[in-house]
A and B are shown apart, each in its own frame.
Chain A
Amino acid sequence: MRVSLFSRSTTRGGPPLRTGAVRWCADLAWYSGLVVLALPGTASATQWPGELSGRIVDSLTGTPLAAVEVRVEPGAWKTSTDASGGFRLRGLEPGSYRVSVHRLGYGTTHRNIDVRNGLVARVRLELAPVALGVDEITATVDRIGGTVLLREAIVGSGARTAGDALQSVPGIVVQERTRGGPQLVSVRGANPDAVLVLLDGVPLNDPVTGEADLSTVPARSLTRATVLAGALSARFGPRATAGAILLETLGEAEPGYVSTWAGSLEQFGLGAGGGGALWNGHWQGRVEGRRLDGGFDFVIPAEAGGGEAHRGNADLVTWSASTGWSGPLWEGDLSATAGFETLERGLPGRSFAPSSDARQDLDRARLSAGWNLGLLGGGSLNVRTYATRQTTRFRDSDPPFGTPFDDRTVLRGAGAAIEGSIPGLGVLRAISGGVDLDIQSVEGDALSSGAPPRRTDLGLRASGTWSRSEASWLVSSSVRGHWVGRTDRWHGSHEVALGVPLGPLLLRVAHRSAFSPPTLGDQFFREGVGVEPNPELRAERVPSEFAAQAMWVGGVGDVAVRASVEAYRGDMKGMIVWLPDFRFVWSPRNVDVRRSGGEAGLELELPGADLSLGGSFSLTRATYDRADSDDVQVAYRPRYGATLTAGWQHGPWSLRLASRFTGARFPVPSPVNELPGFWVTDFTVGHRWVLGRWSAESHLGIERLFDVTDALIFAYPDPGRTLRVEFRVGPSS
């Protein structure tokens, strides 16, 4: 089990912090400048009058999409994209146009464009794989093996955080030790630090622990969450050893709203958001605050001696805000987001050894921008950049184990990526390549004096796409060379995938490799009582992963059906696991793990009954690679998981029932002391009223309807059944 808590249980001391409002504002200004400087200069005006040139790409992969229907109104202009995803309309009168694009298997999106005399108006649009058009179906499997959660599904699920929203995804385990506490995500049995999480392109993974805390991202802020399982370093760089999660807050403009909610555990929240046209594009923004007392009475498990106790120090106060703008800029399209999250919460610890004083503070500001330019001839240029500043503080004046601590970590991070693509020849449809640079600066009391203050990563990537035609087989490949400055080493990773459409059936096989260097915390946390860093740690590697997927989308009578099944095998070399030595001093160590398994899902939509049904099953075989035994599951990795969902929507009413199974798991690296599996069921009911130009919604959500108190991790009790009532009002759209 990864016990990141130990990395925080360090001794008191360390250099004084150089934080403060002035310093923070200076940092932010510097990063803002960086973002602006990273954008290319103004392109020169071209000589073709009244033209519209565009490019449509897959929002997940960036792959150009051919055969996309493009409509431009007024005027009923119509065309479709070529093999490179490009299109061009000439002879347009100067004025404002609405561009609509649509492709089978994808959604529809629009953009308002101004065409000026003597200029080429350029537009780049991203199309997302389409979900079934029913809110209650929470997830859909996209064309490349990922799972996409759209805004409607996220909101309809009653999720409070991004972690809540992702719990229903097959193959995902969200580790939450208390309601309102950190939420770490494990994909296919890997450690949470093997999952790269990007929020609008900004890495959320903590530089010290390598883990991303999904509880810091409000579910309501998300327009889309994409879960990509597999060894994806070739596409996303290090940290994506087991998968990547892409969280996006910018999308279709949402009508303005104000919402408030209250419920069990003395929770209360307020939120507001909106969007609209701004300059030539559109903006959107939102703000949300949430507080939670979190205390409850519980029964101490018999295995820990039994008895009753009160769960205290489980409170949370958090605020978040984000805003974004997208629109044309300098012949291309710009999308930019900014966000801020702040929270303070108690860390109550284990039931048998509670921490009454342990606290966490987090402040994070982030900026990100992407600029896309469609080039003549079907090429494209894509520039992305981000900057972030994060301060975290963990403190406990009277910990149950070890010595008091008060550790602050200040992260400053910035990155930029440039990627270009050009159309190929013949079956070689497109070639692309790019370079990305990430720089992180870390100051932290929790780190030893030997910790490097800065980390610089440089990645080089090249990819190609081969296909005979849009409807035939497709081969995509990527290769990445990645230089890790801290170790001054190059790491390689690759991905080769073949997709074959057979009518409604899509078959896909892929072979990949990935790597992830140890985190600063693993190697350089300050030595404390019972814990010791391990500077000799090696990178986690997935040298060879094979995955096969089949997806079928169709109908049986009036029932819309989407079925998918995927299997994989990808052993992990050097998974970083915390283990004690003979002195009972814990350290992170490299352990080889065999991984294989699969996920299967089925979604049904019965329009006649206003009913949708879904279910999934996952098998995750993550076992220690030992000479004498190959069937000991890694600690706290459930081998089996399942979900069942049912939704009903009729008129203003909506009902949703979602059950989730967490399979049996071992708390230790041996097949003893097994914790039994358990089901939990969440229920939500909603009603919508329209009052003239205004609409109001109310939702009642019941988590753990049947009052199940089991938890994934032993000694972190759950309060069982809780209720929440939400009321939301805004203009009817």
Chain B
Amino acid sequence: MKLEMGRRGSSARLLGAASLTAVFLTACFGDGTEPLPPETAEVGVVLSSTDLSLTIFEVANPDQTRTVGLGPDGSPVTMALRGNLAAVPLGIVPAVAVVDLKDGLLVRTVGLSQGSGATGAAFLNDSIVLVANPDLDSVTPVNVLAGTTGSDIAVGRFPQAIVVEGGRAFVLNAELEFFAPDGPSTVSVIDVATLQVTSTVMLSGENAAMGGVGPDGRLYIVASGSFGSANGSLSVVDLAGLTEVAHHPGFGEFPGSLALGPSARAFVGAFAYGVVVWDTSLDAFIRGPSEALEPGGVPSTSGVGFDDAGRLYTLSPDCQNPSTANRHDAVFEVDVTIPVGICPFAIAFTAVEVES
């Protein structure tokens, strides 16, 4: 009986000490208004098409990589990132793979309409991804958290990239027929709130492949052109007037990737020559195709991207062996090489939560 009382006394003392400690910690470290935001770290994500994988690396420590398989079949060439999630349209497999970048796990695969050709995606918010179905001339809203899809939305012919900006989604329609250009590209504008196509922007270039919004608020679109015709171009769309305000030819043979960097620079990657640099304020090449950057001395790249620190990354387009992502320094020399999968096609960056 004494023993039991003694225990009760000890417990009471411990409880009191814990309460005091909690009050002290709260007073010292809490602001008393809201919980702390989760701690994040920037990661780079590389999509490799042949081995159907994502390579995830921490920007601050690129030596450490993690590989996540996307599934046994598919031909993915595009992806969308937001926070902890990546959504990867699987190409010939009519589905979207959803990957948790924090845990490095394939969370689910969400089916699309048969014959989708799933290529091109962009997050509308934390849960909805808009995915393009090039073979069905439509896009599909996908809830990546619930694993459900909404109704398909008809757009132009062969949509293969999507850019979201200011409550609108801009669907880049390549206007291909049997995988070859069949006229100038178009942009279908979708109101994110209603998921209705509100207008269509006519472009001058053929085979619109990639787009992004620059610091000037304009939409820049790389048109690959026809393979072998060296007719790649860059279109500039005014998002207020929804018109193509400029079309710049001279981007050479089949450019396919775009990254809008700091200081009004657009970096356009091409398999045929490397990376060209376009000044968006002067509307002129800083380095054109004839003097393109050659990452690691190789005049070819399959993807470009910038991290938050403004460092350029390029992808070496090796489709037979495991390849590399290259980080460049201020003078565009390769300073870090990151091993990735076979046939890397896209690189992007996001901030993922990390354990405190």
Whether A associates with B in a native complex is: yes
User: Which A residues are closer than 8 A to B by beta carbons?
Assistant: 300-307, 350, 352-354, 400-403, 529-530, 579-584, 589, 591, 624, 626, 628-629, 667-670, 672-675, 714-715
Contact of A673 among B53, B227, B271, B300 (CB under 8 A): B53
* Chain A to chain B contacts (Cβ below 8 Å), 18 pairs: A302-B108, A302-B109, A303-B109, A304-B73, A306-B109, A306-B111, A307-B111, A352-B93, A353-B92, A353-B93, A354-B114, A401-B92, A580-B343, A583-B227, A668-B53, A670-B341, A672-B67, A672-B69
B302 close to A (CB within 8 Å): yes
Let me know if B132 is at the binding interface, CB within 8 A: no
A325 to B322, CA, bound (A): 56
Which of A303, A669, A670 has the largest number of chain B CB atoms within 10 A?
A303
Known contacts A302-B108, A668-B52; can you find 13 more A-B pairs with CB under 8 A? A300-B111, A352-B73, A352-B92, A352-B114, A529-B178, A580-B50, A580-B75, A582-B302, A628-B339, A670-B53, A670-B67, A672-B51, A714-B73
B72 within 8 A of A: yes
- B179: chain A residues within 8 A (beta carbon): 529-530
Asked if B79 is an interface residue, CB under 8 A from chain A, the answer is no
CB of B49 within 8 Å of the partner chain? yes
Most buried by B among A352, A353, A581, A582: A582
C-alpha spacing A302/B312, complex, angstroms: 36
Which chain B residue shows the least CB distance to A589?
A: B320
Query: Which residues of the other chain, B, contact A624 by a CB distance below 8 angstroms?
Result: 321
**Least Cβ distance of B94 to chain A in Å?**
6
In the complex, are the beta carbons of A670 and B75 less than 8 A apart? no
The 8 A CB mask of B33-54 against A (1 = contact, 0 = none) is: 0000000000000001111110
Contact partners of A302 in chain B: CB under 8 A: 108-109
Q: Which residue of B lies closest to A302 (CB)?
A: B109
Q: Within the complex, which residue of B71, B110, B115 is in contact with A353, where a contact is CB–CB below 8 Å?
A: B115
Find A668's partner among B50, B109, B300 (CB 8 Å cutoff): B50
Residue ID in chain A nearest B301 by CB atoms = A582
- For the side of the interface on B, what is the size category? 35 or more
Q: Is the interface of A mostly helix, strand, loop or mixed?
A: loop
Asked if A580 meets B319 with Cβ closer than 8 Å, knowing A353-B115, A400-B115, the reply is: yes
A632 to B179, CA, bound (A): 33
CB distance A582 to B92 under 8 Å? Answer: no
Whole-angstrom distance between the Cβ of A590 and the nearest chain B Cβ: 10
B95 contacts A352, CB within 8 Å? yes
Answer whether residue B172 sits at the interface, using C-beta atoms and an 8 A cutoff.
Answer: no
Kindly report which residue of chain A lies nearest to residue B180, judged by CB atoms. A529
- On whether the beta carbons of B73 and A303 are closer than 8 Å, the reply is yes
Q: B234: which A residues are within 8 A, CB to CB?
A: none
B254 proximal to A (CB < 8 A) = yes
Closest CB in chain A relative to B319 CB, distance in Å? 5
Are B53 and A305 touching (Cβ within 8 A)? Answer: no
Q: How many whole Å from B97's CB to the nearest CB in chain A? A: 8
Known contacts A302-B109, A305-B111, A670-B341; decide if A626 and B321 are in contact (CB<8 Å).
Answer: yes
Are B51 and A668 neighbours in the complex by a CB distance under 8 Å?
A: yes
B70 CB–A CB distance under 8 Å: yes
* Cβ contact within 8 Å between A303 and B300: no
Complex-state Cα separation, A579 to B320, whole angstroms: 7
Within 8 A of A (CB), among B11-48: 48
Task: Give every chain A residue within 8 A of B68 (Cβ-Cβ).
Answer: 672
Provide the bound-state CA to CA distance between A669 and B53, in Å: 11
A669 to B321, CA, bound (A): 9
| Given known A303-B109, A400-B115, A626-B321, contact A583–B73 (CB-CB < 8 A) | no
Q: Is the CB of A403 within 8 A of B178?
A: yes
Q: Name which residue of chain A comes closest to B54, CB basis.
A: A672
Contact B254 A304 (CB under 8 A): no
Q: How far is the CB of B229 from chain A (nearest CB, A)?
A: 13
Residues in A with CB closer than 8 Å to B72 are 301, 303, 667-668, 673, 675, 714-715
A305 B319 Cβ-Cβ under 8 A? no
**Could you say which of A350, A670, A714 has the most chain B C-beta atoms within 10 Å of its C-beta?**
A670
A674 contact set on B, CB distance < 8 A: 69
> Which of B75, B95, B317 has the most A CB atoms < 10 Å from its CB?
B95
Shortest beta-carbon distance from B343 to chain A in Å: 6
Query: Quick check: is B85 within 8 A (CB to CB) of the other chain?
Result: no
Across the two chains, which residue of chain B brings its CB closest to A577?
A: B320
A626 neighbours in B (Cβ, 8 Å): 321-322
| Contacting residues, chain A, for B339 (C-beta < 8 A) | 628
Contact A591 B320 (CB under 8 A): yes
Give Cα distance in the complex from A581 to B75, angstroms. Answer: 12
Closest to B77 in A: A584
Q: Mark B323-334, 1 if CB is under 8 A from A, else 0.
A: 000000000000
B80 is an interface residue with CB less than 8 A from chain A: no
Q: Which residues of B contact A629 (CB under 8 A)?
A: 322
Contacts of B227 on A, CB cut-off 8 Å? 583
Contacts of B112 in A (CB 8 A): 305
In the assembled complex, how far is the CB of residue B123 from the closest CB belonging to chain A, in whole angstroms? 19
**With the chains together, A403 CA to B178 CA distance in Å?**
7
Whether the Cβ atoms of B322 and A670 lie closer than 8 Å is yes
Cβ-defined contact, A669 with B51, below 8 A:
yes
A624 to chain B, nearest CB (A): 8
A305 adjacent to B342 (CB under 8 Å):
no
- Bound CA–CA A320/B69 (angstroms): 45
A583-B271 contact given A304-B93, A305-B109, A352-B94, CB 8 Å threshold: yes
On chain B, the residues within 8 Å of A305 by CB distance are 93-95, 109-112
A584 and B227 alpha carbons, distance in the complex (Å): 12
- Shortest beta-carbon distance from A574 to chain B in Å: 13
Check if B95 sits within 8 Å of A628, measured CB to CB: no
| CB atoms of A304 and B342 under 8 A apart | no
**Chain B residues, CB < 8 A from A303:** 71-73, 93, 95, 109
| Least distance between A499 CB and chain B CB atoms (Å) | 41
Once the chains are docked, how many angstroms separate the CA of A626 from the CA of B323?
Answer: 12
Q: Which residues of B contact A353 (CB under 8 A)?
A: 92-94, 114-115
Binary per-residue interface labels of chain B (97-118) against chain A in the complex, 1 for a CB within 8 Å, 0 otherwise = 0000000000011111011000
